[in-house]
Every structure is written in structure tokens, then in C-alpha cells.
Chains A and B, each alone.
Chain A
Amino acid sequence: MDQALAAALSAVSDPAQLLFLAAGVVAGLVIGVVPGLSGIFGMAILVPLTYGLEPTAALALLLGMASVTTTSDTIPAVLVGVPGTVGAMATVEDGFPLAKKGQASRAFGAAYSASLIGGLFGALVLAASIPVMRPVILAMKTPDFLAISMVGLMFVALLAGSQPVKGIMAALLGLFVAQIGIDGQTASERFTFGQIYLWDGLPLAAVFLGIFGLPELAGLLRRKYIAPGTSTTASTTIGDGMRDTLREWRLVLQSSSIGALLGAVPGIGLAVIDWISYGFASRNRRGGPEYGTGNIRGVIAPESANNAKEGGSLIPTIAFGLPGSASMSILLGAFVVHGIVPGPRMLTSDLSLTYSMILWIALANVLGTVICLLLTGHLARLALLPVRTIVPIALVFVILGAFQSTRSLGDIAVLLVFGAVGMAMKSMNWPRAPFALGFVLGPLIERYFFLSQQLTGLGWLTRPSILFAILIFFAFIIRKLRAWKKARREPARIEKIDWRLDAGTYLATAFLGGFILIEATGLPRGASAFPTIVGTCLVLGSLFGLTASYRDKAVPDIVRMPTTEFTVLGLVLFFTALLVLVGPYIAVFALVAGVIATDRRSSVVRTVLTAGGTAVAVYCLFGLLMHLPWPTPILL
């Protein structure tokens, strides 16, 4: 073991290999900043570049990239409320309000330091698990993965806040949306309406950018600047954020553990890990403001967890060749090229390679954090720019981030539809995090349920993990029932919604539930079970919500028209029309210049420079680097 460690240390101290790590880290930071791009994209781009490299140098480049996308994804999440990757969705909840309060630097300081500790923790977990990773994974059976997924879904209860019915309904909507596509078991089409585009289900990035990204951009348009006044950087410092992280060391370690352990479970991706760690943190405010209004713990928890995930997801990849995440499946392809065979050899004769991976992850996290910290001062100043400069640029990257999902105009349609759904959910106090959990965990629960049943009959019901999950379920219910009852007695802390709007929404979800039930009758048995359950729960939940709305008959103090929401959706449509008619670069220029021009204070020169700069950036990233196949312009 000492020899292996010495060999790994010698490899990672080679300046040439450190250069590859640095290149990977820079690539990862860029990928993390652009909404919609993720580690899987980086892997696909970088793997071919590694074919001529030594295995350790190749791993330096690839792991350097993969380790830090979740460090820089905080930047757009905090500044404009749009997560850079799905791993920063939860960071938006409190990071963005902090920026709006003029505390962007504090949020960045806390996020980066939490990311660093999380990343190092993940590497440590990977190192510590070397002697036990194979026996532990072999001891876990399929029903145990079902139990883990079920417990994950139970976090809906924590994430629903004071809106339990709406939270559960949102989770059910997520579960339904995840069922769209060809059912893996029976190969039958579910809710695809004859569209080939829907065969592989809805693209995660486009759905989440719609649900979480567009509503925040619409909210931003109601302001002139992200931060009040001109005191963004002055009111708090990076040091404040780092001190917050150190003060919350217990939370950092807990969240890192969540990230590293769940990262090792195949299928449980960043989208789940960040919300579960956020839900875990949200049990306690620790003297801070309400969650969702700028509690620093809401930034620290997901940022620790999502960086710790990388170390965790390497565990099944190294030990069994089972990719812990989508990007790991590409890494496995690179393993083959470099003659690396996952399995027992990685823990014996090739142990030095495993050690070098651990060291690369640790070093990448340190380097990524240092670079981000150096940039923070400049980035935080972006919050001082007028909103009408920031929003169109962010919108361009959100649309193109969604478009690169399957490189089809259908992706933009998905963005638009789920953007509207997200805006409706936000304005009607429907928590959106449960939707994310339902969307990601639903297919896992369905799959593991059927696998468990086929493998063990009813035996899975007696697995300790399943019994533990059931116990946790009841503990959650008891704990939350008490909290919800207390919340009902207290004056409402959230904006009231007109009961007729609420009732109308519940009627719509009831119809949706009914539609799902009718459609399910035409599906084969294996494919119809889960839609039937979801449809039934949607109908019942809607009736319950409908009754509650009628009983409360709440009337809001102020009625706000969704003007900015319509503006954002209109801009997406406008951009898409230009994309189809005149191509991407003119469309980018037109959108950015057009929106900036509506700001009376903007000069023509600044408008043209900003719009032109954005078009050039889009050309470099999406054209030159990604070779995105744009639709052929009709007019040119």
C-alpha cells in the first residue's frame, strides 16, 4: 500500500501532469458556470483528447474537470438565480436571496469553502472505503437501493415547508412527468402522444432550467439591480462566508456524508443529493432567517454535498465498473482505452491508480476553490449591473443550455412549457423542490420496486433497510404533522393566494390525474401500475386541496399581474423564432441588444458591445467547442 501511495504521489507531483489537472479544472469551472452543461458534457469533450496521454495524466484532466463543475455552478445560482448545473438548484433557494440583499460575496465565500471541504471529504471517503468498498457494495441488495430511493422521496415532507399538500402534489407531478417515454420493462410508450422526441423521456436539464431558471429570471425583471444600492461587495465579505462555513462545520460534515454516500448509489444524481442535503439542513434555522430568504445554511449544505458526490460516485465505478453517474459511464470508456480494468485489481495491483484518482480529486477541489475565490470580487460586482443587461445574457445561456440537451427544438419547447409550470408553481406557493425529487427518484423507485419483486417475491418487504425506510416514513409524518398543525395556528408567513386560483389549479391537477388513469388502462400491466398509483393520488390530493381552498377562502392583499413572466416566456419564443429564421448568432445579438435597449440609461455603444460579446461567447462555446448543430436558418 505504501508503495502504491508513493507511486501515486510521485505521479501527481509531476508538473506536466499538474498542468493537465489545471486544464481540466479550468474546463470544469467554465462548464459549471454555463447553465445546462454538466460533467457528462465535459467528459464527452475531453475523453477523446486523452487517448494519447498516460493514464494518470488522462485521469488528471478528466477528474480535474468533473470535480469542480459543482464549485463554479454556484456563480449563476447566486447571481441570477439560475443553477449552473442541477447540483446548484438548492443553492439558488438561499444563495440568490443573499445576493439580492447585497451579500453575494458572503454567499460565494460560504459556497466555495463548503465545496472545498465537501470535495476533500468525498476524496477521503473514497480513500477510506478502499478496503471495504467491494464487500459493502456486495452486501447491498436491490431492495436496499429501493429503500434508499424511498427515503430520498420522503424528503419531500421536509422540502414542502408549510405547504404539505402542495408539496406532495408537486412531487406527484414530478413522478408523472418522469413516466413520459418508453417504459424500460414492457417497451411500451407512456404518454408520448406519438412523438419520437418523447421516446427517451424529457431531458432533465431542459425541465429543470424551466422549472427553476425561468421563474427566477422573471422575478429579476421586476427589479432594476440584483442587489440593492451599490453596496454588494462592501456589505459582506468572502471572509464572512468562510467563517459561516467553519461555524457550521457540523452541517458541512453531515452534508458531505450525504453527498459522498448517496453519490455511490447509481442513479441518485446531483439533482437529488443537493435537495436532500438542503432538506436536511432546513430542519433547523440555527438563528438565521427563514429558509428561502437567505439563510446561509441553505447554501452551505448543498454545496458541501454536491462536491462530495464525486468521490462517492467513483466507488462503484472503481470497484465494479458500475458507473455511479452518467459522466462516470464515459469515464469507464476512457478506462478501457487506457487499459484500466475496474474491479478487484484497482484495489490491489492497480492501487496506485486509485490513489492518484483520490489525490487528483482533492487537488482539483483546492485549485477550483482558489480560482473561484480569486474571481469572486469581480463576479460579485456583476450584481451591480442593471438587470436588463444581466437577464438577457442569462436567458440566452438558459435557452441554449436547454437546447443542447438533445439538440432539438423540442428542448426549447420543454423549457418553455416547464418554465410556465415553474412560474405558476412559484406564484401559487407550490414548492418546486418536491417536483425535482419526484422527477429523479420516481423512475428509480419504479425500477427497483419491480426488480425487488422479481428477485425476491415478497421477501424484499422483510429487508431491514425497507423496514427502516417505513420507520423513517412514520417518524417524518409524526414530526411534520406537529409542525404543520403549529404552522396552521400561526399567522401565515407566506403570501396568500386567491382561493379561486388555488381551486382552479386543483381542478386542473384532478383532470390530469383522471387523464393519467384513463391512459393507464391502455398500457400493459407492468407499465400501468405506477401511473395508476400516481393518477389516483393526484385525484385524491386535488380533492383534498380543493376542499381546503374552499374552506379557507383566502383572498390576497395585493394581486400582482404576471407581466414579467409573460415577458420572459415571450423572449424565449422570440429567440426561438429568430433562431429558426436567421440562425443563432443574430438571434443572440437581437435578444441581448433588444432587451438592453429597453433600458433608458443604456448607451448604444455599450448595448452593441454587450450583445456582440455575448454572440461571440456563444459562437466560441456552442459553435466552436460543442459544434451544436443549429437548425438551418430559413431566411439565410
Chain B
Amino acid sequence: MYVRFLGVLAALSITAASASADVDRVTVKVGYSPGGGYDGYGRLVAEHIGRFLPDEPTTFVENVPGAGSLRLAKLMMTTEPVDGSVIAIVGSAVATTSLLRPDKSAIDPSEIKWIGAMANQPSFCFVAPGSGIADTDDFLAKPLKVGATGRTSQTFVFASLVKNLFNPDLEIVLGFSGGSEINLAIERGELDGRCGNSLSSLLSSGRYDVVNLVGQWATSVPEVSKDVRDFLSMIDGDVDRKAAKLVTGTLRVDYPFLMPAGTPDDVLATYRAAFDEMVQDQQFLSDAKKRGLLIDPTGGADVEAFLQELVDVDDATIERARELID
């Protein structure tokens, strides 16, 4: 009977048909699990970018979660094809991870091929209305507990900045599975509040007007949150301020899309042009609005220039930044 098995194989090897990979398809890889902001932006772009690329390729979404999108970033730097068939959305902090957490990432930020970033939005700290924390001064003076997911997440990093710069009595409770679990722990009274909540998330969940916003990390404060205290402007020391700017600077180019390292310049230019056109498109913008996703875009070349400037700091600043997020 095994002879018959081998016979089938032999016949097949002769009649092998063509099944080569498509080149008219683009996969948008998302560095996080389905659901949530990054997945939302990834799916939004996947549904629209094809219209602005030559020959209008079909687009697909693939989630590649792991280590706060560092896993996907590393794959984009090493194994993904450079023919334009794969683009990705990762956490913007990936650009500074090798600088701030060299033990976690060996990614060379200068090799990253940025297509563009979707948003420039602040990240907030808030407390529950009944927590006994009246305002920002209270938040920065009283002993209290805030929740965080992992050590590389914004929930931890931005809370850590507050703890190390303003309030040593702030206790960061680590290990929540996601932002919604932190929010529920706040509602249950187990936590006083949290940091690292983006403006779009607060607006789309309807919590922006419900919670007590006690401060924001922002590269530029938008009109909508101008009454909320800006932590960066409250920092006294020059090194501390520069270090905090290094840590929070990537908010300026949040929800960024990139291409694999080594992508030819002409392919990158095509995608950057498509991105710039897409973010002006009314159909795209109304779809984003419907999904509760804020769009305040930055083109790929500007992202690259901004990040180069951001990481061009002296060793003392880098050292201090590492201390602030530890």
C-alpha cells in the first residue's frame, strides 16, 4: 500500500501546478490583539489605503501581538518582505525602546521606514470621581494606587513619570490584562485611578466627561483638554524635563505605520504619498469619525525627522529617562 502512496506522490510531482504568492495584496499587520485602539486604526487603514495605491491592491489585516508590539517591530526589521506587500502599525514607543530599554530591544530606529502616524494626542491620568482626590495637586501629593498593564505599556510608563517626578507615594499596581480591567478596578474602588489613557479612548468610551482628569502628558495640548494640567510644563529641572520629553515625545506621532527595514525608497515613497492622500480623503475621515478614532496625521518624512530629533539627546538625559520609567 505504501507503493501506491509513493505512486500518487510521483504523479503529483510531475503535475505540480502553479500556486505562487500574490503580489497584488497588501497585509496590514497589527502589533496588538484584536479589539482596542491599534487594531481599530489598523483595520481602518486596511480598508482605505488600497484606494490610494497603484492598481488598488486587496488589503488584509493580521494581528501579530506580543510584547507591546515589539515582537512585530522586530519581525518588520528582520523577516518581512520589502516589496510593499506588508505594512504594520506598532506602538510609537518602539522608536525609543532601544534607547530607553536597551535590554528589551535591539531595534535601530534609523532603520525603521515610517509611512506616517495617525494621531498626535495627549495621554491622561484620571481618578474616579469619588476617590477623595479633588484635583491635580491632590493627585501629586497624596498616597494613592494607580493601575498598569505591563512595564513597557503607557499605563506604567506615564504613571512612573508621575511617581518619579512628582509623587513618590504613588503606588503602581502592575499586571492588569488591559485598560478596561483597570477601569473596572477603579470603579470597584480597588484603585484610585490610572494614567496612559488616550484622548480618543476616553472620548469614544464616553468617560471623558465622567472621570476626574488630573493631568496630561502632551507634546502639544489640544483645545479640547486645555483646562487639564500639563505635566511637562510643571517639571522644574532641565534634565528632568528633557528626559520626560524623550519618554513622552512619541505621543506626537502616535499610532504610526511602518514598512520593513530595507524597503526600497520608491516603494516607501509610494506608500507615503498614498498615506498623505488617504488622510485628506473625506470618506476616510468620516469613517474614522464613525469609529471614534481621532485623526491628526503626520507624514512619514516628518515622522522620521521628528523622531531623529527626539532621540538626538545627550547621555545624561537618556540615563535620567531610564531612571524615570524604571
Partner-B contacts on A (CB < 8 A): 40, 43-44, 48, 51, 137-138, 140-142, 181-182, 184-187, 196, 199-200, 266-267, 316, 320-323, 326, 329-330, 332-333, 336-337, 341, 343, 345, 406-407, 447, 450-451, 454-455, 526, 582-586, 589-590, 593-595, 597-600, 607, 627, 629-630, 632-633, 635-636
Q: Is the CB of A329 within 8 A of B34?
A: yes
Known: A48-B43, A584-B19. A599 touches B34 (CB 8 A): no
Q: Contact check: which of B16, B60, B173 meets A455 at CB < 8 Å?
A: B173
Q: Contact check: which of B18, B33, B180, B290 meets A321 at CB < 8 Å?
A: B180
Q: Is the CB of B35 within 8 A of A332?
A: yes
In the complex, which range does the number of interface residues on chain B fall in?
35 or more
Q: Contact check: which of B17, B47, B180 meets A320 at CB < 8 Å?
A: B180
- Which residues of A have CB within 8 Å of B8? 590, 593-594, 597, 607
Q: Is the CB of B206 within 8 A of A343?
A: yes
- Which residues of A have CB within 8 Å of B178? 329
Partner-A contacts on B (CB < 8 A): 1-2, 4-5, 7-9, 12, 16-21, 25, 27, 33-36, 39-40, 43, 47, 60-67, 70-71, 74-75, 101, 104, 145, 149-152, 171, 173-178, 180-181, 183-185, 187-188, 190-191, 204-206, 287, 290-292
Q: Could you tell me the distance between the alpha carbons of A184 and B181 in the complex, rounded to whole angstroms?
A: 14
Q: Is the CB of A630 within 8 A of B180?
A: no
Q: Could you tell me the distance between the alpha carbons of A190 and B134 in the complex, rounded to whole angstroms?
A: 42
Q: Could you tell me the distance between the alpha carbons of A141 and B185 in the complex, rounded to whole angstroms?
A: 8
Q: Is the CB of B190 within 8 A of A600?
A: no
Q: List 15 A-B contacts (CB under 8 A).
A: A140-B188, A184-B175, A184-B177, A185-B151, A187-B150, A187-B152, A196-B74, A326-B35, A329-B35, A333-B36, A333-B39, A341-B206, A454-B174, A598-B1, A598-B5
Residue of chain A at shortest CB distance from B20: A636
Q: Could you tell me the distance between the alpha carbons of A407 and B70 in the complex, rounded to whole angstroms?
A: 18
Q: How many A-B residue pairs have CB under 8 A?
A: 162
How distant is B102 from chain A, measured CB to nearest CB, in Å? Answer: 13
How distant is A599 from chain B, measured CB to nearest CB, in Å? Answer: 7
Q: Contact check: which of A196, A267, A582 meets B177 at CB < 8 Å?
A: A267
Q: Is the CB of B180 within 8 A of A322?
A: yes
Of B4, B183, B292, the most chain A CB neighbours within 10 A belong to B4
- Which residues of B have CB within 8 Å of A584? 19
Q: Could you tell me the distance between the alpha carbons of A594 and B2 in the complex, rounded to whole angstroms?
A: 9
Q: Could you tell me the distance between the alpha carbons of A585 and B62 in the complex, rounded to whole angstroms?
A: 22
Residue of chain A at shortest CB distance from B7: A597
Q: Contact check: which of B36, B187, B291 meets A329 at CB < 8 Å?
A: B36
Q: Could you tell me the distance between the alpha carbons of A266 and B187 in the complex, rounded to whole angstroms?
A: 16
Known: A333-B39, A585-B19. A450 touches B5 (CB 8 A): no
Q: Could you tell me the distance between the alpha carbons of A594 and B291 in the complex, rounded to whole angstroms?
A: 50
- Which residues of B have CB within 8 Å of A326? 33-35
Q: Is the CB of A330 within 8 A of B20?
A: no
- Which residues of B have CB within 8 Å of A599? 1
Q: Contact check: which of B18, B60, B291 meets A627 at CB < 8 Å?
A: B60
- Which residues of A have CB within 8 Å of B9? 590, 594
- Which residues of B have CB within 8 Å of A316? 184
Q: Is the CB of B71 within 8 A of A200?
A: yes
Q: Is the CB of B181 within 8 A of A266?
A: yes
Q: Is the CB of B17 within 8 A of A586?
A: yes
How distant is A390 from chain B, measured CB to nearest CB, in Å? Answer: 17
- Which residues of B have CB within 8 Å of A627? 25, 60
Q: Is the CB of A633 within 8 A of B19?
A: yes
Q: Could you tell me the distance between the alpha carbons of A454 and B204 in the complex, rounded to whole angstroms?
A: 30
How distant is A587 from chain B, measured CB to nearest CB, in Å? Answer: 9
Q: Contact check: which of B1, B20, B40, B287 meets A633 at CB < 8 Å?
A: B20
Q: Is the CB of A337 within 8 A of B206?
A: no
Q: Is the CB of B21 within 8 A of A323?
A: no
How distant is A204 from chain B, measured CB to nearest CB, in Å? Answer: 13
Q: Is the CB of A200 within 8 A of B67?
A: yes
Starting from the known contacts A141-B190, A266-B181, A595-B5, 9 additional A-B residue pairs (CB-CB under 8 Å) come to A43-B34, A200-B65, A266-B177, A329-B36, A451-B175, A451-B176, A599-B1, A627-B60, A635-B16
- Which residues of B have CB within 8 Å of A594? 5, 8-9
- Which residues of B have CB within 8 Å of A196? 66, 71, 74-75
